[in-house]
Structure formats: structure tokens, C-alpha cells
Structure 1
Amino acid sequence: MDRIAIIGCGGSGKSRIARKLAQILDAPLTHLDAIYYDQQWNPLPQEKFAAKQEKLVAGERWIIEGNYAGTLPIRLATADTVIFLDLPAATCLWGIAQRRRRYRGGQHQADGVYDRITWNFIRYILGYRRAMRPRIQNLIQAHEPHVRLISLTSRRQANQLVDRLRQGAQPTT
């Protein structure tokens, strides 16, 4: 597990598990939201966002968390492990509610991401499994021969993965 892509719906816990794995594995961590958005929540042009990811994945070791299906193939092309947080919408909504409370709607100090919750974001979460999951799964399948997929469907499974890695055990898929 040297090049890990962590993907999943908003509120699924991508940032949380990424921080824990970066600490356990002593690997550099990148939060894609921090690259894609500036302080005023303006997005980076797509070609610049893709170019930044190309540079990131050229490294020997990395953990990159974030969905961004449009540029996911860049990460999948060099990843050796994909952790897909495939959690129910209710769990993800609870996650964003907890995040809102924790950061009081402001900047996440640990990862530089601004906590912005809109109705469009809530609709995205509610429709993620129906609309985005099939697209993500197809992209992963296209890279499966060289990528180990770890699909987690609950916070408990995510915590168990972190615990196994902390103890030096290999993750199960």
C-alpha cells in the first residue's frame, strides 16, 4: 500500500480515514478539495486540476482523498490500492452534520478544506449511490488488474481497517 486513492461520497469519512492512514503508513497525504477550491470556494480550471494530480501521482508513495470522478482515472492509473467508502446516504448526511458542528462551518485546520454545505451538496449525497456509484465502480473495474479494491460499507469497517493496519496486518478486500 504505497499509492492509495480514497474515494466515496461527501460525508463518508474520506478525510478522516486518510489522515489516520497517512499517520500509520507515514505517507504524504493530499486532500483534493484543498487543491480544487481556493479560499473563496472557486474551482480550479479542470486542466490545471488534472495537471496537479499528474504531478502528485508521479510520486513513489501517496495517499490522495477525494472523489472527482472526472480525474479519477489519473489516480487509478498509478494507484496500487483504492479504498472506496460506499456508505449509505443517511450515514454520509450524519457525517456532514458532525463535520459542520465540529468546524462550525469554517476552515478545517487539518486539511485546509472549507466546510461548505449547500442544498445541491445534500442532493448529491442523497443521489450518490444511484448516480455516482455505478460510474465510480466502472472506472475502478477498468483498472482492477493492478489495483486492490477495499470497499467499505460502514464506519465500523473503516475503523477495523485502520485498526488492522495500525497492528501491522494486511487489509482484507
Structure 2
Amino acid sequence: MERVVVLGRGGAGKSTLARALGETTGLPVVELDQHFWVVGARPLSGAEWTSVQERLAGRERWVMDGDLGPHDAPAPRLRRADTVIVLDLPLALCAWRALRRSRERADFWWWVITWRRRSQPRVLEAVATHAPRAHVHRLRSRAQVRRFLAAVPSDAR
């Protein structure tokens, strides 16, 4: 496990899982939100985002968390990933976490609500297309996330 991509709807716990993986494995954590959104919560253009991801994914080792919904183009990071984790947690849990975290715009809530029906099929297709040799873990509950983390070897280099 050297290059890990963590995907899932808003509030699924992508950043929390990425930080935990980083602590356990020693892998550097890259929070994609910090690289994608520019001043005024404006997204990068498609070309800019692809370029940023290619630079970030070109590093030797990392955990990248982020699913930017309709703005995302995950191919550059998926092509380099050896492990992909898709957090498919229940809507009620994700909505509760998102509500506790911060105020969000209407388009964020639309994405969270429709993720399983609209975004998840695109995510899974992108994983199959761009990361066919990666180990894919689809975690559907907090218990599965805990079991996955418990099974990760410490400082797995």
C-alpha cells in the first residue's frame, strides 16, 4: 500500500480515514479539497485540476482523499493508485456528519443525497477503467471501516 485513493460522498469520513491511514502507514496525506477550491469556493478548471492531480500523483507515496462530485476527474490519481477505498456509508450518517461539520451550499446537498444513484456508478466505472490492478475496498459501514483500519499493517512501506 503506497498510493491510496479514498472516495465517497460528502460526510462519509474520507478525510478522517485518510488521516488514520497516514498515521498507521506513514504515508503522506493529501487533502484534495485544499488543492481544488480556489478563492471564493470556485473550482479549478478541468485542465488546471488535471495538471494539479498529475503533479500530486507523481509523488512516490501518498493517501489522497477527496471526491469532488460533478467537478471531479479522478483518472490522474486512479492511474497511479495501488489501493482504492470507496466509502459507501448510509445517507443519514453522511448527512448528519456534514451538518455537524459546516454549512454547505445547495449543490453540495444535492450531490450528497443523489451520490449513490448518480455519482457512485461513475466513481466505480472510473475505478474499473483507470485502476484495474488496484486493490479496491468498498466499505459500507463504520464497522467495516474500523475492521479495515485494524487490518492495515503499521508503517506498511
User: If the length of structure 2 is used for normalisation, what is the TM-score?
Assistant: 0.89
Residue 97 of structure 1 aligns with an amino acid whose one-letter code is: L
Are residues 24 and 43 of structure 1, via their aligned partners in 2, closer, same or farther at CA, if it must alter by over 3 Å? same
Are residues 43 and 143 of structure 1, via their aligned partners in 2, closer, same or farther at CA, if it must alter by over 3 Å? closer
Aligned to 1:97: 99
CA deviation map 1:21-50 (0-9, x unaligned)? 011111111111111113431222221121
Q: Find the aligned partners of 1:22 and 1:167 in 2 and give their Cα distance.
A: 10
Aligned to 1:103: none
Counterparts in 2 of 1:12-91, with a 5 A limit? 12-68=12-68, 70-91=72-93
Any conservation in 1 of the 2:81–2:131 contact (CA below 8 Å)?
no
From 130, 139, 143, give the equivalent of 1:156.
Answer: 143
Gaps of 5+ in 2: none
Residue 127 of structure 1 aligns with an amino acid whose one-letter code is: T
Any conservation in 1 of the 2:90–2:140 contact (CA below 8 Å)?
yes
Q: Find the aligned partners of 2:150 and 2:101 in 1 and give their Cα distance.
A: 22
Higher RCO, 1 or 2 (CA under 8 Å, sep at least 6)?
A: 2
Identical amino acids, percent of aligned pairs: 33
Moved more, 38-47 or 22-31: 38-47
Residue 4 of structure 1 aligns with an amino acid whose one-letter code is: V
Aligned to 2:10: 10
Q: Find the aligned partners of 2:141 and 2:133 in 1 and give their Cα distance.
A: 25
User: If the length of structure 1 is used for normalisation, what is the TM-score?
Assistant: 0.81
Q: Aligned to 2:56, what secondary structure does the other structure show?
A: helix
CA deviation map 1:108-139 (0-9, x unaligned)? xxxxxxxx512221121111100011111111
Gaps of 5+ in 1: 101-115
